[in-house]
Chain A
């Protein structure tokens, strides 16, 4: 099978989804009104509520939701063959993610730009809001732990990327100062920043930094994880203009350039997919594809994290209600394109089937390493860039994304601890440094608790992260569905994805429960039970809320 044909089929389907399905949803289901006064105009304050150009807003929305997850998830999931991952990404983007992200913006805009968390409290009930807080905390906890493990793995496997990844942070720090102190204009800074970043990528392979396999009785991997959390803790305490803002900007530019290079090389090379469409010879210990596929690929098909961004910042800046379709739905399409690139790199970027099989020797293996090596193979053969440079480029792309997510995730987790400090009147918990220490401590516990002392097994929790992420998406879909029921509009377009997600999530949790029990991994067993309980509570809340709203509607109808 030719990779370009698969690419065209995927992109074509997503384009149809945008032009036909999202139009239908916008007109018939959400019934967007161009004259509706959005919160950005109603509460305009120049701080949070600012009407923003829809292309700019799309750029922000997209770069906020696109992280390392749409790369890691699909690159793990192709172990079942390229077809299941491809189908789930394409259909997930069209019928799940698009409707979910778009709907989250719409629901928030129609409710004074409240966040999904607050909306769950208002629309569904207080109990649901408490569950929501717990699920958010679990998602952040897992995302931080998993991404630390992912970056540490990349640093160990691709020593050539160490200098550019850490160098990029210094470039960002300098850019932040240059702009904040108005020393240079943004246009000059953008060009200089991108040149500096790519110069670092060019230098990287010449100065590889290899962490020794063992330092002071700890594995190199574990040392990297600790260094990463140390960095993330400091970064999350710095003012945003100093590091987060310039780094996000450079990451955004790098994302577009990286995607362009990868897609360009794919088209020029037109490699053959060496991986089978359906892998009927999966390595021992690989769990069943159904339901695990649907939680392994969360971002790229549907992800609850997007609902937080949609309702947190995007909805406050929406200029016109009709822009929600472009920003939300097309944002999901952008993420789907990233996931599609990851699938193609991880299945077509190998010379032979044997090479591919060697990479995917066990479940959880391959993953982002397969994306980097496969992508580098494609760029090397398609554009003639040296393979080491291409691998460094993709590693930097993935590591910087994961790093930004960690930084933001840790910041959000700190806010949650501070909020708990406020609710339960614990003054010490409200201090930023102590709240950050608590956040880092819980993440380290998870990173090491899940995979043993060297931290290399932390990717075992990837599917568990997927389940919590899907639960969050389920709660957002529930809010949208209840709103639709109250408006007497068709609810199946959001209820069907909701039911599907809940069933798959609960099944996946049960299967993982058995795996952890058999492995004797008590730590993950307990975590799984916590998530499972949350999932069951969400399912019951769904049933209760829908029954209640339908009864209300029926009573009103009489």
Chain B
């Protein structure tokens, strides 16, 4: 008996929560789906510039912040391959920095 009374409101709360979750999913999709591409592209452009800054020293462009950017290189390694292919270079542009 007690179990039942406990169960009813919690299942009601669950349905409400599921319903709210669904509503939230729909509003967020409605807001973002149409512009997802444009925004992701803009972000990627900014990231590409950042990659260029981080790896600039290796291409012979002096970088006053190289002390800091050097630390970032291992973190950005995963993205390195995508970046150089997107920039139109089939292989790593850096002689001493092999990628593929």
Which residues of A are interface residues toward B (Cβ below 8 A)?
Answer: 46-48, 50, 52-53, 55-57, 59-60, 64, 179, 185-187, 190, 239-241, 244-245, 248-249, 252, 313, 316-317
Contacts and interface: CB of A to CB of B under 8 A. Distances in A.
Contact of B27 (A186, A241, A244, A316): A186
Contacts of B32: 245
A241 B35 contact: yes
B30 A249 contact: yes
A414 to B, nearest CB: 14
Contact of A240 (B23, B38, B44): B38
Given A52-B33, A60-B33, A241 B28 contact: no
B41 A47 contact: yes
A426 to B, nearest CB: 21
B30 A56 contact: yes
Given A47-B37, A50-B36, A187 B23 contact: yes
B30 A60 contact: yes
A244 B31 CA distance: 11
A47 B37 CA distance: 4
A185 B42 CA distance: 23
B68 to A, nearest CB: 26
B41 to A, nearest CB: 7
A54 to B, nearest CB: 11
B24 A186 contact: yes
A252 B30 contact: yes
22 contacts: A47-B40, A47-B44, A48-B37, A56-B26, A56-B29, A59-B30, A60-B30, A179-B31, A185-B24, A186-B24, A186-B27, A190-B27, A239-B42, A240-B38, A240-B42, A241-B39, A245-B31, A245-B35, A248-B34, A249-B30, A249-B31, A317-B33
Contacts of B24: 185-187
Interface residues of B, number: 20
> Mostly helix, strand, loop or mixed at chain B's interface?
helix
A241 B43 CA distance: 11
Interface in B17-62: 23-24, 26-42, 44
A244 B35 contact: yes
Contacts of B41: 47
Contact of A186 (B31, B34, B36): B31
Contact of B34 (A46, A55, A179, A313): A313
Contacts of A187: 23-24, 27
Contacts of B33: 50, 52, 56-57, 60, 317
Contacts, number: 58
Contacts of B28: 186
Nearest to B32: A245
Nearest to B44: A47
A250 to B, nearest CB: 10
Given A240-B35, A245-B35, 19 more contacts: A47-B40, A47-B44, A48-B37, A52-B29, A52-B33, A53-B29, A56-B26, A57-B33, A64-B34, A186-B24, A186-B28, A187-B23, A187-B27, A190-B27, A240-B38, A245-B34, A248-B34, A249-B30, A316-B37
B43 to A, nearest CB: 9
Contacts of A186: 24, 27-28, 31
Contacts of B23: 187
Contacts of A47: 36-37, 40-41, 44
B26 A60 contact: no
A248 B32 CA distance: 11
Nearest to A180: B39
Contact of A313 (B37, B39, B40, B44): B37
Nearest to A179: B31
A190 B31 CA distance: 10
A410 B13 CA distance: 48
Given A186-B24, A187-B23, A240 B39 contact: yes
Contacts of B29: 52-53, 56
B34 A60 contact: yes
Contacts of A60: 30, 33-34
Contacts of A252: 30
A55 B42 CA distance: 27
A59 B33 CA distance: 10
Contacts of A50: 33, 36
A556 B36 CA distance: 44
Contacts of B40: 46-47
Contacts of A59: 30
A316 B42 CA distance: 19
Contacts of A313: 34, 37
B85 to A, nearest CB: 14
B12 to A, nearest CB: 21
